[in-house]
Amino acid sequence: MKLHSQILVSNDIEGTIARIESSLHQERLVKIYEPDKTFSIEDATQAIEKAYMASEETTIIVLASPLFTPLVQNKLLKVIEEPPPKKEFILITSNKATILPTIRSRLPIKILSETSTQEALGLDMAQLTLESVYALIQTHKRTDATQMKVMIENIAKEAIKSRKYTLDEKTLTLFSNAFLALDLGSPPSFVLTTLLVKLLASKKRD
């Protein structure tokens, strides 16, 4: 694997980190990994601090999480846009749909594997209605937080791919807030209901 600044989209985040580690030669590795929650502002601050630490060898800074919120991405933008000497940033996430255009324009994206799509979701986001929202909520009354995160990733991906929703920071924040609510212990069914109702309200009118 080539160790240069990039975004890697992968279902197997830990496996992807292992591939990076096995590809190291003379480079130094800095890893900030959040396996079960969103990448926090504190994590971003730590990454920036690590980036400005002087080193003679090239430093590969790996930032990995299922979700990077718009706030976190905006905080990282400057150091990614103008990295200090001998610093390479590799972002690893499981859903490229939630990466802001400003970050995408600065880092190439390589898809190793993506989350399952509409078939696994069981919902056509292009045709989202109150009836389909209600049916999905009933189906997932007992879905746990871990499974709900996967579902929310799929909803984000399908909503953006459908082009039926406004692709702005407000829309992306709906998904990051859902992940945050799950991390804070909110009932998964409540989080799903809130997300889908708000998303339905933001749907473009034909």
Structure-model confidence comparison of residues 35 and 180, the more confident one? 180
* pTM of this structure: 0.61
Q: Are 139 and 122 in contact (CB under 8 A)?
A: yes
pLDDT at 119: 47
pLDDT at 122: 64
* Token representation of residue 85: 């000497």
CB atoms within 10 A of CB 167: 12
CA–CA gap between residue 202 and residue 90 (Å, rounded): 32
Q: Are 180 and 70 in contact (CB under 8 A)?
A: no
CB atoms within 10 A of CB 92: 24
Q: Are 25 and 57 in contact (CB under 8 A)?
A: no
Q: What letter does residue 127 receive in the DSSP assignment?
A: G
Per-residue pLDDT tens digits for 41-56: 999 999 999 999 988 8
Residue the block writes with tokens 């970050």? 103
Per-residue pLDDT tens digits for 78-117: 999 999 999 999 999 887 777 888 898 999 999 887 554 4
Looking at the domain covering 6-111, what would its CATH class be? Answer: alpha beta
Tallying the residues shown for the chain, one arrives at 206
